[in-house]
Amino acid sequence: MFQHKDDHSSTFLLGRIGAPLIMLTMLLLAAGLVPLSHPRMTRKAEREVANFVEGSVELGSAVVTLLRGVTLRDLRITYPLDDGRRLMLFVHDLHIGYRPLRLLSNRTDLRLRLKRLADSLNAKIALNPAVAVGELFAAPDADALAVARTVSIKDLSFAITGSETANVFGEDLDIRCRISRGFPLKAQGGLRGKGLSVLGYRLDRPYLTFNASHSLLRIHRIDARLYDGRFRAGLIFHLTDNAIRDGNLRLQGVDLEKLYRSRPREIGRIAGIADLRLKFKPCILHQDSIFGSGYFEGRNITLDGIPILKTAVVASSFPFLKRTDFEHIRGPITLTPQGVQCDSLEGWGSSLDMDVNGLVRFNADFDFEVLGTLNSAYTDSVPPLIWQAMLPDSSGNRCFACRISGTFHHPFVSIDRAVRRRAVRGAIRSFGRNLRSALGRGD
- The pLDDT of residue 42: 85
Give the angle subtended at the CA of 170 by the CAs of 39 and 168, to the nearest 5°.
120
Task: Report d(CA 201, CA 168) in Å as an integer.
Answer: 9
Three-state DSSP string of 277-344: EEEECCEECCCCCCCEEEEEEEEEEEEECCHHHHCHHHHHHCHHHHEEEEEEEEEEEEEECCEEEEEE
- The pLDDT of residue 285: 72
61-65, 307-311, 394-398, 427-431, range with greatest mean pLDDT: 307-311
Among 264, 262, 154, 266, which residue's Cα sits nearest to residue 202?
A: 262
- The pLDDT of residue 182: 64
- The pLDDT of residue 41: 80
Q: What is the DSSP letter of 36?
A: B
6-10, 25-29, 377-381, range with greatest mean pLDDT: 377-381
Confidence of residue 429 (pLDDT cuts 50, 70, 90): low
E strand spans, 34-145? 56-65, 69-80, 86-98
pLDDT > 50? residue 2? no
The rounded percent of the chain whose pLDDT value lies above 90 is 20
Average pLDDT, the chain: 77
Task: Report d(CA 260, CA 336) in Å as an integer.
Answer: 25
Establish whether the linkage from the previous residue to 140 is cis, with ω within 30° of 0: no
pLDDT > 50? residue 419? no
pLDDT > 60? residue 416? no
117-121, 287-291, 341-345, range with greatest mean pLDDT: 341-345
Task: Report d(CA 376, CA 388) in Å as an integer.
Answer: 12
- The pLDDT of residue 13: 46
- The pLDDT of residue 32: 45
pLDDT > 70? residue 165? no
Contact 253, 229 (CB under 8 A): yes
Cβ-based neighbour number of residue 40 at 10 Å: 9
- The pLDDT of residue 234: 93
DSSP run (H or E) holding 402: strand 398-406
Helix, strand, or coil (residue 187): strand
Task: Report d(CA 273, CA 430) in Å as an integer.
Answer: 25
- The pLDDT of residue 1: 44
Cβ-based neighbour number of residue 70 at 10 Å: 16
pLDDT > 60? residue 271? yes
E strand spans, 199-284? 201-212, 216-226, 229-238, 243-255, 269-280, 283-284
Confidence of residue 12 (pLDDT cuts 50, 70, 90): very low
| Arithmetic mean of pLDDT, 258-264 | 86
Task: Report d(CA 71, CA 94) in Å as an integer.
Answer: 6
- The pLDDT of residue 29: 46
Q: What is the DSSP letter of 144?
A: G
pLDDT tens-digit readout, 342-397 = 888 899 988 888 888 888 887 778 899 888 888 888 877 888 877 877 888 777 88
**CA-CA-CA-CA dihedral for 313, 318, 323, 329, to nearest 10:** -90
pLDDT > 70? residue 325? yes
pLDDT tens-digit readout, 70-102 = 888 899 988 887 667 788 889 899 888 776 555
- The pLDDT of residue 279: 94
Least confident window among 219-228, 265-274, 300-309, 395-404: 395-404
